[in-house]
Structure 1
């Protein structure tokens, strides 16, 4: 088992070591895992570097919450450090999600394509005619097999608590599904289909020509949280405001600027920032997640620590005051494009 330890500056500004990152290739865990070169989903790149490495961590010195965060984006050590400090287990599975840059634009933007592909990629069930992603290569099964492996190889982490009583899958009532950008959108789409404990969307969701955001949801809308930067193209294009309203998040509070507000941010589910990113929409997009693009104060500390804690820990039954839909937020993006 390959592990590595990354030392980061603790919130107290003293040097401390994060919990070990446990890494394992999906193809080594489950022999059923397959490559799908037709959607550029392979186990190694052209230089032979493994592409199917999965990552997990838990801080066993912190009182556990008994919840598992499944992160649908590239591994983020700064994010996982914070999740572990909250008492959360965290994994980053490798699953067949390379389709989004390959679908022809005329099909991609037709209005009912991306949501179905996202659902197939996350569940491994047949929802789309454009891709063929079997169960062992979907997010659900990859996550389950990874947790089973962790329960065996890292017993001190007590990962078995996330496996269902019949041993056939995960306990999704203990799962927080989260991601940024593409991963945020897939997290939200999956939560429409499968009830989870919580959804945390960084810079997302989008799919601005689709209507799946308004579908009946297995996960109650009060369990869905979003955080994005106002210079992000998802804001300038009305993608985020549209998705948030279609999912009903305006029923739980106004859009709150976290830079001029304090926790609990009016108990809202819709959080934004206007922090200084040098006017860069690209940096704005990534700045809401702990990492290199995140904004720091003059002392070198991240300014959104309280926001990240809120997103993953705020009681879901504590909600803000319902607000009406924003008439300036364009909902019909197809019409706007014409």
Structure 2
């Protein structure tokens, strides 16, 4: 997909218009991509000072003929674990996913946060609540046995400050519609999504808040070795109806847990009530309307790490786009 280079004159005009430091703008056809450094949204941020990415389709916002209808929903993409010393500057495979989401009528964000430590560190804990405690520290700020996260560094705080920043610097896109009058996330119009650890965060957020949709790719992986069972939080009562949960995993993915343990996790969430595990390599959309999708693409023997990221690999968008479109648009009850 052809990318148009940044236009410095346009950046200068935007900077002068909004009285802000120039931000990087790109475009992919009609999709505008905004790159905003985390600390530019909140000076209290001290760690994981990486760029967030925001996506909107200008044709959608303008209501142009042939464009998708504006969903008035925000896709919040939460990335997976990014070990220290590896590059976290770009949006990763989620960039293509968010471009597609924008074309389908969403506003979309790839949110960066302190994600150097994997939740799999909790696998051997005897305390059945440790997985949830670890994740909630990252989601809302707090402490677990394995990490401590200031509120300013948390996913929720970073989201709020990014939306406030975008509401001021890009008012034409109406990012303010995703905040309540009190300045909190308007969860009911958010679709929370993520890869690997990020998908686990998305699922737990949806258990605590009623959201529009949940998309978990390469996840959720929280399986307790100590108890030989899915993490306790997977069986919590859910604020979000379970029919709004969608998952997509690779059959050769052993990261964090085995494929068999992964299916146990999905059953613990109750997703088997909406149909069987469906192989997208063998069945076309709408995949029997299942909430549990799997693939073995491209076939043959893969390493676990390759299989784990395959479901979000931007080099295979021709194959993945029908699955991604289903995850983003399969109707759910309101």
TM-score normalized with structure 2 length: 0.79
Task: Give CA deviations for 1:64-99 in whole Å, capped at 9, x if unaligned.
Answer: 110001111161321121111111111122223323
| Greater Cα shift, 62-71 or 94-103 | 94-103
SS at match of 1:304: helix
Specify the SS of the correspondent of 1:56.
Answer: strand
Q: Distance in 2 between matches of 1:176 and 1:55?
A: 16
Superposed CA RMSD in Å reads 2.3
Structure 1 residue matching 2:278: 3-state secondary structure? strand
Shift of 1:3: 2.3
What is the rounded CA distance, in whole Å, between the counterparts of 1:81 and 1:195 in structure 2? 25
What are the Cα deviations for residues 188-242 of structure 1, in whole angstroms up to 9, with x where unaligned? 1222222211110011101111221011111121111001111111674423201
| Distance 1:211-1:105 versus aligned 2 partners, 3 A rule | closer
**Equivalent residue number for residue 123 of structure 1:** 140
The alpha-carbon distance between structure 1 residues 239 and 105, as it changes in their structure 2 partners (threshold 3 A), is closer
Could you say if the C-alpha distance between residues 98 and 262 of structure 1 is closer, same or farther in structure 2, counting changes exceeding 3 Å?
A: same
The residue that corresponds to 1:228 in the other structure is 249
Query: In the superposition, relative to structure 1, how do residues 180 and 105 fare at CA in structure 2: closer, same or farther (>3 Å)?
Result: closer
Structure 1 residues 102 and 177, CA, compared in 2 at 3 Å: closer, same or farther?
closer
Match of 1:69 in 2: 75
Q: TM-score, normalised by structure 1?
A: 0.78
| SS of alignment partner, residue 55 of structure 1 | strand
CA gap 1:257/1:102 in 2 versus in 1, 3 angstroms: closer
Question: Does the 8 A contact of 1:277 with 1:283 survive in 2?
Answer: no
One of 129, 140, 144 as aligned partner of 1:112: 129
Q: Secondary structure at the match of 2:327?
A: helix
How many residue pairs end up in the alignment? 285
Which among 140, 143, 159 is matched to residue 143 of structure 1? Answer: 159
Indicate conservation of the 8 Å contact 1:3/1:20, yes or no: no
Q: Which runs of 5+ in 2 are unaligned?
A: 1-21, 61-68, 80-87, 225-230
The CA deviation at 1:127 is 5.6
Q: Does residue 282 of the first structure (1) align with residue 305 of the second (2)?
A: yes
Name structure 1 gaps, 5 residues minimum. 8-16, 36-41, 44-51, 295-300, 319-338
Give 1:122 shift. 0.8
Contact 2:30 2:58 in 1 (8 A): no
**Equivalence for 1:216:** 237
Q: Distance in 2 between matches of 1:84 and 1:105?
A: 36
Distance in 1 (alpha carbons) for counterparts of 2:289 and 2:216: 16
